[in-house]
Structure 1
């Protein structure tokens, strides 16, 4: 891995600057084409028919009325659809198997596994005809007993198994005995509901077959692994599949896996011999694409009279689907945040007959920190301590569970800066003591935490004789400025103007990139871009050194600096244009290929030695109507330790976005599942409430900009850390304003009154 200390570079001119996003103009002018906006001759449209039961078998399916609708081309069911190859089970030896959202082989079986599972696909000349005809398909079912009520099934939870990348348990000392003996303790039960992603762009696929060659325009967070998955499911060579995804209108984890809509669009296009577009409605997204698991959590803390923790107990129950799902690392942050001699962590699972749950921004940490940071705040109340002071007294020097070293950890600095900027010293310690007219005013804090990791990425960098640079990598751009930051990195590494760097991305024909998830993409691609730039500079220097009279003869790469469009040793040097012209070269290209087994092994070795993470401190002020219980967030400040910041503008935007999403989690969002039928009853933005502008105050964000020495360019990852701790900060502010501890999200009027 290329670290800050090892790389060769020129003077940094663009890294750290607030550079405008390169795709901004295309998106605001409508020039950017998303997955459902690519025209093709003869384009047909598809719509899904959802199952109306949670578990059972289809005994008959009447498609006559649907086929009679003008414009209908085909109705595919398990009775007439060509079977796909079943998905492969997950194996760490091939991480692309991770993207199988469910084990269901759609339309190759009469089995129904959840309420909403697609049981037929209608293909028509227009989306209106397809959508209407889909309502006329009449399946008949033999229902089987189904388990869909999470609360009722909680007592049957079983221990969750860990894996190479995610621990599910931890034991240090005897936490239960220490808890029982502690002079001061809290022991609380928390619940969080299911949540759904609500990206501006719903999931959409445009699929085109040309013989055994497939082109797919897709809203995906994982281009390379989607390509592998489609090749496997449709039994064509991987080189015959091309996935195009230059613009993705939000994902938050929901577009990281391969869901039914994508597969059935490709299946339908092959069946009818025409390009097919399948754009999911909001309701179809909720019913065929998984969201975040609900959870119940117990957090029990024991402390001495001075506030030193003696015991931490954190256990959880979450769910997966019977046909798939991603267990959430709910206790992940608890492993790392507080020093205690006795720690007991356990995660448990139940399997339900519901659509598989999946990753959602900061999976595990977002809901786990709600419980942990609320419990820490409640312990501060029990002790009569300032909640920041309690945290500082228990800030660890090394990882609390296994003693590993932190690559860097600036939690103290984040709280110190935040307290000063927020005016924390003006907080009246007593609950309910601060008022503004009818509003009770409260202030709360919470810690943010998200681990950092790097996966293998490939990249090529080409430099031509005119000094123009092209960076090529099949990465995903979901609006976070991914291509902009890689252009900034390349410009600085090669010492060329930012305007001369072009980034090609969003295409599976380009060098492979890991998916955009886990706050890993920027660091992973940056490592490849840094290595490719270094390789390119070495190649250019080799050309210069072979030229008679070159001022760079005899120089080693460690002695030269890339600047002013060339390589220089002090004042002596040459431009790239001059070097390439003398060598008779039109361009020089450097390529770095990902070696996933090697990097995965290196990543696992790093995890044994170091703890790498982004962290931060949230400061929240709320106003609570004393009569109605209405909660309004009136001020917010977040201070973050996110390593080196590449783009000041996009970084701040990402941090604010996570906080807004956390406010929705705290105060509004909740997927409602009928405990009798397993049907989602609020599948859309009319009934699933997300924050709007009126709900969001001015959000001030600051970052410490301290590089992590064990990460490429010192960057850590920004996209997910800022949602972690948000819900707890709101709950803690409500506790300060009202004296009421809300343990169950969302924080609604009835829970405050």
Structure 2
């Protein structure tokens, strides 16, 4: 039996800052992404998307297009290869949008209706824009709101438990001295990774070879094998460099289209999505409407906790934006209830997007906690301290480690929280009102089964092979440090091969599970190799290889609540004339286990916090009710934080040892965004005295809310005056 090395206890490469192994290649342009790898006889595909929100395809008039220069084929529901979507993949049943060109139904604007393939990308685009598709249009419904009577409670899935409940909520609310009962909303938000989605497919020696931009080659290879009824061993997927994913880069219609086209044409075919196409084909964050009811004693101790979240899904596939899950970990109460409900609309299916569930859920929950603190006359940090649970509020399981209060303590010290006057609307610099706010953060620290191989080479180097994917997080660099310490050799003796499904199954780069899962597999393989090398003897020309598979080893971890935690602090300035909100400084302090590479970890935290800033003040996709499509579905019309919007942002962490853990690592990719929007919203309240429960906090909303507050104040003053006159 092999033993594992607890890399958290090793002082060496892990815990030291290292620049990215591939950094020079990226900044010099030597790193090639999925849309840049050259192939002989490469053809180019261009997707044609529906222009109606609901109906049927009456005709695809492809004859004129086929006569255009360079056009090789037009694939549509009348001639495309058949695929099978009746299977259960790595993450459940596939989205039916992957079954492109299989029927004449159109369930939303942007549904793929054809693929034009030509010799050049320019020819393919010109022909695709010339293709005439006629429809029989039907009435559609894309209007999301909290009051819809057709909202329903979905079935539990392996990914999301729809509802949890203990105690009598109504009784505990009735017995509470202080009650908060408010609704919070977040808008539809979209992935906009720097690298657009792209894939090149070809048949090579009887095997399907796909060069892709994805978050898990094991995942994509398995899905393609199932879709096209292929032996999994006959499918290879590679993703050497990926320019961002955030949850969107799994399997999407463009990979399926590329495989269809290469199968028909017997030559490599590349399909790259445009920015506009990404708004309908790769998923997005659903809008949410969340009602939170909190009941507490006068001293702030929670008696009732009720978080009910509603989101949308498509008519063809069910996806739950699990916004109510955060409270299941963060706060306990005598009565505790969480619920998710869905509305089916004629829109594309949402998907995972950085901190799915926790990002929008934390805005509602941490805003409500701030409102409760205000009503109780308590400091927001003291309120959270008073409600710190000993075990999982819903699961009852012990925490592997929980240092959220240490994050608040360190953050408060560095932010200067002790000097804060809790009264709102008092601090002013010219036309700017100033305020500060805080919020908690958490995200699960998951792990998935992975395999790894570590080879001792005759030249004294070590080759690590694992199908990890580096989506810009610095995964390569982290794995090199982990292998270095596990083998007890210098980092320059480590060679890496990653992002190739031929290397064996491994966990995806998502859900803050990647580095933790890969570290475990590499550590196990390295320990096995060290044992074999300790026996002595020379190394043969092919080297000595040890392999690992963590599938069975991870099962015992289900008996603990494993989460990263954090605390966010924000200072904002609000222009009373224009309604503009400026974040002046942000601070995030985290408890995230062993930090493998401080340099790239800090980058991940700050990146998440910047996204949280965008979420609070900028991001909002608007759906046109008449057409069913989005307004401004491109980078020019979709507003997110630019350099001028980003203030002083600091990220750091506290010690967070994880006893009895084989690697001591927790995920950090998602937690940076969780709670940031709430911290900013709470700071806006502190600055202005007006609470904002709808994101984003746009200037028009700030001005309108200020006008409403002023009118209410005038009415209250008038009522008091009239009462005084009557009394006199």
The two structures have a TM-score, normalised by structure 1, of 0.90
Look up the match of 1:186: 180
User: Does the Cα contact within 8 Å between 1:418 and 1:637 map onto a contact in 2?
Assistant: yes
Equivalent residue number for residue 593 of structure 1: 549
1:347-496 correspondence to structure 2 within 5 Å: 347-496=340-489
Deviation of residue 709 (structure 1)? 2.5
Please give the alpha-carbon distance, in whole angstroms, between the structure 2 residues aligned to 1:669 and 1:196: 8
Residue 505 of structure 1 and its aligned partner are, at CA, apart by: 0.4
Per-residue deviation, 1:430: 1.1
Quick one: which of 334, 340, 347 aligns to 2:333? 340
SS of the aligned residue for 1:158 comes to coil
Secondary structure, in 3 states, of the residue corresponding to 1:636?
strand
Measure, in 2, the Cα distance between the counterparts of 1:128 and 1:696: 37
The answer as to whether partners of 2:436 and 2:572 remain within 8 angstroms in 1 is yes
Q: Which residue of 2 aligns with 1:59?
A: 58
Q: CA deviation at 1:176?
A: 2.1
After superposing the two structures, state which structure 1 stretch, 466-475 or 617-626, moved more.
466-475
Please tell me whether the aligned partners of residues 169 and 306 of structure 2 are also in contact (alpha carbons under 8 angstroms): yes
**Map of 1:250-289 to 2, 5 A cutoff?**
250-255=244-249, 257-289=250-282
Contact 2:71–2:119 at 8 Å: present in 1 too?
yes
Taking the aligned partners of 1:506 and 1:325, their CA distance within structure 2 comes to 29
Q: Does 1:95 align with 2:90?
A: yes
Q: Which moved more, 1:30-39 or 1:319-328?
A: 319-328
Match of 1:742 among 663, 687, 692: 692
Aligned residue for 1:616? Answer: 566
Is the CA contact (8 Å cut-off) linking 2:570 and 2:587 kept in structure 1?
yes
3-state secondary structure, aligned to 1:390 = helix
Structure 2 counterpart of 1:206, from 174, 191, 200: 200
Deviation at 1:38, TM superposition (A): 0.9
The offset of 1:69, in angstroms, is 2.4
After superposing the two structures, state which structure 1 stretch, 311-320 or 228-237, moved more. 228-237
Contact preservation (8 Å) 2:294, 2:372: yes
Greater mean deviation of Cα atoms: 394-403 or 426-435: 394-403
| 1:299 pairs with one of 292, 297, 300 | 292
Q: 1:411 to 1:135 in 2, by over 3 A?
A: same
* 1:9/1:494 contact within 8 Å kept: no
Match of 2:84 among 83, 86, 90: 86
Q: Displacement, 1:172? A: 1.7
SS at match of 2:96: coil
Match in the other structure for 2:711: none
Residue equivalent to 2:144: 150
User: Compared with structure 1, are the counterparts of its residues 17 and 703 closer, same or farther at alpha carbon in structure 2 (3 Å cutoff)?
Assistant: same
Alpha-carbon offset, residue 152 of structure 1: 7.7
Picking from 207, 212, 221, the partner of 1:218 is 212
Does 2:623 correspond to 1:673? Answer: yes
**What is the match of residue 717 of structure 2?**
none
User: 1:716 aligned to 2:663?
Assistant: no
Structure 2 contact 62–131 (Cα < 8 Å) conserved: yes
Residue 102 of structure 2 is matched in structure 1 by: 108
Which residue matches 1:573? none
- Secondary structure of 1:509's counterpart equals helix
Alignment match, 1:138: 132
> CA–CA distance in 1 between the matches of 2:564 and 2:375?
29
Deviates more, 1:262-271 or 1:613-622: 262-271
Aligned mate of 1:697, from 637, 647, 661: 647
Structure 2 counterpart of 1:729: 679
The answer to whether the 8 Å contact 1:325/1:358 transfers is no
Secondary structure of the equivalent of 2:385?
A: helix
Q: Is 2:612 aligned against 1:662?
A: yes
Contact 2:279 2:633 in 1 (8 A): yes
| More off after superposition, 57-66 vs 33-42 | 57-66
For residue 384 of structure 1, report the CA deviation from its aligned partner: 1.6
Count of aligned residue pairs for this structure pair? 703
Judge conservation of contact 1:9–1:492 (CA < 8 Å) in 2.
no
Cα deviation code 1:660-679 (max 9, x no counterpart): 11111111111111123321
Deviation string 1:374-399 (CA, Å, 9 cap, x unpaired) is 00001111122111111111111222
1:243 counterpart residue number: 237
Task: Pick from 531, 534, 538 the counterpart of residue 580 of structure 1.
Answer: 538
1:60-88 superposed Cα distances (whole Å, 9 cap, x missing partner): 121233223222121111122222x2223
Q: What is the rounded CA distance, in whole Å, between the counterparts of 1:645 and 1:124 in structure 2?
A: 48
Listed as ranges, the matches of 1:154-169 within 5 Å are 154-169=148-163
TM-score, normalising length: structure 2: 0.93
Per-residue CA distance 1:594-621 (angstroms, 9 max, x = gap)? 53xx46xx54x633x3111001000000
Q: Is the 8 A contact 2:6 2:664 kept in 1?
A: no
The answer to which of 320-329 and 261-270 deviates more is 320-329
Shift of 1:7: 4.4
1-structure distance, mates of 2:565, 2:465: 31
Q: What CA distance in whole angstroms lies between the structure 2 residues aligned with 1:2 and 1:640?
A: 33
| Cα pair 1:102 1:356 within 8 Å, conserved | no
| In 2, Cα distance between equivalents of 1:359 and 1:498 | 34
The alpha-carbon deviation at position 231 of structure 1 amounts to 1.6
Q: Does the 8 Å contact 1:398/1:404 carry over to 2? A: yes
Query: Does structure 2 retain, via aligned residues, the 8 Å contact 1:97–1:229?
Result: no
The DSSP-based 3-state class of the residue aligned with 2:505 is coil
Does residue 521 (structure 1) correspond to residue 477 (structure 2)? The answer is no
1:580·1:586 contact (CA, 8 Å) conserved in 2?
no
The 3-state SS of whatever aligns with 2:502 is coil
Contact 1:220–1:251 (CA under 8 A) maintained in structure 2 = yes
Match of 2:581 in 1: 631
Structure 2 residues not aligned, in runs of 5+: 704-728
- Looking at structure 2, the residues matched to 321 and 291 of structure 1 have their Cα atoms a distance apart, in angstroms, of 12
Q: Once the 2 structures are TM-superposed, how far is the Cα of residue 508 of structure 1 from its aligned partner?
A: 1.1
**C-alpha separation in 1, matches of 2:293 and 2:91:** 38
CA distance in 2, matches of 1:529, 1:397: 33
The alpha-carbon deviation at position 722 of structure 1 amounts to: 1.1
Once the 2 structures are TM-superposed, how far is the Cα of residue 711 of structure 1 from its aligned partner? 4.0
Alignment check: 8 A CA contact 2:6 2:662 kept:
no
CA deviation profile, 1:125-179 (whole Å, cap 9, x unmatched): 1111111211111111122333321228733111122234432211121122211
